[in-house]
Structure 1
C-alpha cells in the first residue's frame, strides 16, 4: 500500500513566527487530531478496496508540501495620527484607500496615535483620517507607494478639531430703556457658553464693559452705536466655537425735554466751551454765509458724531433757545429763523449744540447783520417824491412849450 509522507520543511523566521503556536499544547492537540484524520482516511480507503495489490511496484512516496506564500511578497504601512488640542487618548480612525478609491483596511489608532497596515499588495495607496469620537476636519494624505517587502512610513497626521454647529439671535428694540436678549440655538447638547455684548460705531468698536450676560439694558451711552452679541461654546470633542449676531440698526433715543442753557452769559460760555474742548468753528463749515441777514432764515448742517438722536441748540450773547433738532446719518440740520436772528440783533454770536444722550458739545461762530431801526421813515418815500417831481417837471415843460407855440402863431 502507498504511504503518505510529509517532508520536513525548515521554516523561515517569518514562518516560525506565523506558526509558533504549533509548539504549545494546543498545537500538539491539533497535530494529533490531524493525524487521526489521516489514519481514518487511510482506513476508509482500505475498506473501499483501495489497498495496493500484492504484486504492486515498490512504494512511491507521496510528498505533501504546505502552501505558504512567502511573507516578503507583501508590504506594510505605518504612521501616527493625533488630534491637536484634544484630550489624551482621543482616538483617530484611519482608512487605507487604494489608487482606485476603494477601501482596503480601516483601523483605529492606539492611545498614542500609532497605526499599522499589514500584508499589503504592492501598489499606490493613500489614507483618510478623522476623529473617532471627536468632530474633526477630515484629512486625506498624498498618495504613497508600497513596494514589495518594505515598510512605508506615512507622514504624521495632526487633525484639527472642528467647530460646533449653532447660531445666536438678538431680540428686542435698539432704543434707550429697552432690554435686548441673546439666544443660542443648534449647538450640541452639553455645550457650555460664555457671552459678550459689543458695539461698533464707524471705525471704532469693541466689547461693552461688564456686559457678559445673555441680556443687555440699552442706555444713553449706546445711542448711535450698532450692537452685537457673541456666544462662545465649549464641549469636549470640538474646538471652542464663537458665533455672533449683529443688529442692523443703531441705537436711538426718544426726544427729551431740552437741557438748560449751558451758560448764563457770553463770559461764562467761554469757560464752558473750553472745559468741553468745543471751540467755535466757522459758519462756512456748516454751510452758512459769513454774515447772516436778520431778515432771512438759514439752515446749518452740523456734523455730529457723538452718538445722539437729538441735540439742543442755544444762541449767545444772551442765551436764546433755538430748538431741538434730530441727528440723522451723522448730521443735524439746525434751522435759524429770521425772527430768531432779529431777536439776537446785529453783531457776533455763538451757536451752541448739546447732545441729549451723550452730552457732547459743539459751537459755531455767527455774524448777524442788523436791520434798519423802525423810525416811521420809509426809505422808498424819497424815491417816490423824486419820481413825482420828475413827472411834474416834464408836464410843466410841455405846457410852456405849448404856450410859446400858440403865441407865435397869433403874431
Structure 2
C-alpha cells in the first residue's frame, strides 16, 4: 500500500495520541512518450508499497526488478504492441519479483513477457494474473529461491517455452494456488520440479484448478517432490510424444522422502505418453522410487487418489507403483489403451467403479500387478442403468392354500438381484433371488378374498443398476370351497350315460389325465388301476371361474370330495381308502364346478385285488361298477350318502344345464 499519513490527536482529557490513516494507492503511469515515466524501472522506483504502476501499450525492455509489493499492470497480454504491453528481450530474465509478503503481495497483471531465458523469476508471494509468458528459451516461470511461498497464478498462459514452470532441484515451494491457466506447447515440460536426493527440498500445499498441461514435448507435469496437492479439472492431453523413453502427460516420480495426499479430481489425459524405446511412457505415471539406485534412500507415498476423469488413447494408461501404498483409482474412464493400469511393484491398488472399455473386459490383458478392479462400470457413461419389473399371475383366481399358484416377476435387464413381492403394500414373504431375469413366489399363504400383488426389484450391483419402480398391480381372488357339494347330475349310471350321449355331460379323454409319480395311474388310459395306490394327477378344466370342483363316482352317485383347480387343472387326489370303496371294473368320475356348475365326466377302470383282472368283486362293501344291473350292497356310510343324494335330487338341479326332467 502507499505511504501512510499520521495525525496527532488528543482525547477529552487532553491526552495526546496518534491516529494512522492509510493512504489510497497511487497509480503511476508509464508510457513511451508523454508520461512522467518512460521506463518501467523508473515507475517502480517512484512507487510505494501498494501503488499501481500502469504500463501503456508498447514494447519494453526486460531485466525488470519488481522488488516492492506493488502491482505492475499492462494494457493487454497479446502480441500487438499497439494495444498490448509487451516485455521483450533475447536473454536473461524478463521480470524478477521479490519482497512480497502474505499481507502485501507483488502482482503482475495483463502483460506479455517473451524472448528471455526466463520470462518471470518469481519470488515469494507473487501473483500472476492474465500474464502470458511465452517463447522463452529456458522457462516461462522460474521458481529459483530456496523457499518460494504463496505463488498465485490465475487466468495466465505459460506456453511455447522450453519448460513452462521450473522449480529447482534444491528449491522448495509451498502454498501454491493456480487456476484457469495453461502450461501448453512447451518443447520439454509444462511443469518441472526435480529434486536433489542429497537435500530436503519440497513442493507442498499445491492447489490447481482448471489447469492444462497439453501438447508438451516430454512431460506435461513432472515432479520429483510433491505432497498435499489437489488437482481439479486438470488436463494433460497430447503430451510426452517427443521423448525417446518415458514420455508422459503426468509424471510424479518421487525421490528420497516420504510424501502424502496427492489427489486428482477429474483428470483428463488423452493421447499422452510416448517414446519408441523401452519402457514406453504412460499417459500418467505416479511412483515413489525405491528401486535400483534409489533403494538406499527410498521414497514412499500414501493418500494417492484419482477420482473421475479419463485416461485413454495411450499404449499404457496409468502406472502406479514403487513405494506407493493405499492408492485409489475410481470413477475413471480407462478405455482405449493397451494396458489400462499397471502396478509397478507397489501396494495393492483399489481401482473399483471405473469403466475399462466394455461391459466384460479381459482384465488379464489390460490390468497387471496387484489391482482390485471389481466392481466396475459397464458403460462409459458411468451412470446406473434403470431396471424394471413386470408381474404376471399364473391364475387370476386360486383356492385357498394352493401352493401351485404363483406370482412371477420378470426383470429387465436380466441382472442379478432380488425381488420383493407385496400384498397390498405389505411385504409378501422375504426377498426372492432373481435368476435369469425372473423370480416367483407361491401365493398359498393368502387368505380368502381379493388381493393386489406388486413387486419391486433390487439389484445386487447398485452401482450399475437402479432399484426398479414398483410394478403394476395384479389382482388375484382367493376362494374357499362351498360348505355343501353341488348336487349329483344323475341318479344312476344309466341316467348319467344318457346325459353323456346327449352331450349334456361332456367327457374328458382319459389320455388327458396327467398322473403324478407313484399314482395308481400306471398308464394314460386310466385302465386297470390298482386301488391300493392313490390316484393322483391333474384333469384339464376349461372354466376359469372355478377354484373348486366337486367329484362324484358312479354307478350311483357317491360324493368323493372337493378338489382345487389350479392353472386350469383339477388337482385330483383319491386315496386308496376312497378307491377301495369302488367295485373292480368300470366307473365314471363326474366333476362339477362349484362356481360355474360346469359338469364333465371321465371313465376309469379298477383292477381286482391290485391285479389286471377286472371281474366284478363279490364284496358287499363296494360301489357297483357302471355295468351293474342288480341292486348292490353298500356300506353304511355309502347308504347314508345315497339317501342324502336322493333327498337332494328332489330340489336339486345342475347349474347352467338342464340335465334331466
- Give the structure with the larger strand fraction: 2
User: Which one scores higher on RCO, CA 8 angstroms, separation ≥ 6?
Assistant: 1
Indicate the TM-score class for this superposition, using the shorter chain for normalisation: 0.3 to 0.5
- Give the structure with the larger helix fraction: 1
Could you state the TM-score of these two structures normalised by the residue count of structure 1? 0.38
Could you state the TM-score of these two structures normalised by the residue count of structure 2? 0.26
